[in-house]
Amino acid sequence: MPRYTPRGVYPERRRRARSTRHDVAFFSTLLTVLHVACPGVPRSTPSPGGTIKGLEYAKKLGIDAMEMEWVQRVPSNVEHVEAIGQKARDLSMKLTIHAPFYVNLNAKDKVILAASKKRILQALTMGQICGALSVCVHPAFYLGMDPEKAYENVRRATDDIMKQKSKFFPDVNLGYETMGKPTQFGTLEEVLRLSKEFGIYPCVDPAHMHARSNGAWNSAKEWNQMFDLYEKYLGKSSLNTMHLHFSGIAYGPKGEKHHLKFEESDAKWKEFLGVLKKRKIGGVLVSESPAMEEDALLLKKAYEKL
């Protein structure tokens, strides 16, 4: 893979970004508690909006984390991304990122594969600049391929990306997400295997797992099995720094259809919160409900009462 220089990101910018971040071990101690995040700028943010205003408004509501939804493109304005990071630090807000959807690390077309790697590297690099903890990535599609062959293709692409880590994103996690359709690469074991090999951790989405299995992964017993497997691959301390997504979800024989509000779904969300509390899971839990700030606060307040 050719050496990659993200547009507009110069060495002095990266050095300045690193100087504003805490040591990774320090962040790990902060994340022994669970932070519930809003998925993007709250919809009720007063105009004019934007990420900085959204952070301020989310904090006012009582939300202390946000996942920036860079699902269409990664911002290229370095000064603005730095300002977002500074605002988050000023507010003691945790940041995560969702990388662009247009990624397939199992692509047969070399142009698509190169573009996929570039988008991930852009998201990770800008994540470094703003002090994000983790970048959620939809890794690949099987494209009718044997899952083990697809795994090897994704593994090689990940190796290419991780060779750039020390230069462009030394402090940011690459979080491959558990995916909601059987045609998508991203079972729990697939993302855990990759994470163990490369020293990263996945973005675990129990709602996607629920949809992919057409109804399973929706009980305390199954969620405990999920966390047991996570611990088996990545160690007990890894449960202190998780990147989680959760929501209600509509699904069918082909898996995920779309996200739902918690109260309009079959998600046993109170039971899920109970498992998180009992196991003392730490990190960032992103509420991916279409009722963005409302359901984030629903989860946060219910969790705090347990």
- Number of Cβ within a 10 Å radius of residue 48: 6
Asked, for residue 3, whether it belongs to a domain, the answer is no
Give the pLDDT band (50/70/90) at residue 121.
very high
DSSP 219-244: SHHHHHHHHHHHHHHH-GGGGGSEEE
Give the pLDDT band (50/70/90) at residue 11.
very low
**Does pLDDT of 21 surpass 50?**
no
Per-residue pLDDT tens digits for 37-90: 999 999 999 999 899 999 999 999 999 999 999 999 999 999 999 999 999 999
Question: What integer best gives the mean pLDDT of the chain?
Answer: 92
Per-residue pLDDT tens digits for 168-198: 999 999 999 999 999 999 999 999 999 999 9
Decide: 201 and 242 in contact? Cβ < 8 Å. yes
Rounded Cα distance between 185 and 142, Å, is: 6
Give the pLDDT band (50/70/90) at residue 31.
low
pLDDT at 221: 98
Per-residue pLDDT tens digits for 205-254: 999 999 999 999 999 999 999 999 999 999 999 999 999 999 999 999 99
The two structure tokens encoding residue 289: 């409900």
Asked, for residue 221, whether it belongs to a domain, the answer is yes
Asked, for residue 1, whether it belongs to a domain, the answer is no
Please give the residue range of the domain that contains residue 287. 11-305
DSSP class of residue 94 equals E
Name the residue among 69, 105, 117 with its Cα closest to residue 191. 105
Rounded Cα distance between 174 and 178, Å, is: 13
Mean pLDDT for 114-132 is: 98
Split into its structural domains, the chain has a count of: 1
Asked, for residue 287, whether it belongs to a domain, the answer is yes
The two structure tokens encoding residue 247: 């929501």
Give the pLDDT band (50/70/90) at residue 280.
very high
**Does pLDDT of 29 surpass 60?**
no
Q: Which residue has the higher pLDDT, 20 or 110?
A: 110
Asked, for residue 5, whether it belongs to a domain, the answer is no
Asked, for residue 4, whether it belongs to a domain, the answer is no
Query: Which CATH number is 137's domain given?
Result: 3.20.20.150
**Does pLDDT of 20 surpass 50?**
no
pLDDT at 297: 98
Asked, for residue 178, whether it belongs to a domain, the answer is yes
Rounded Cα distance between 122 and 102, Å, is: 13
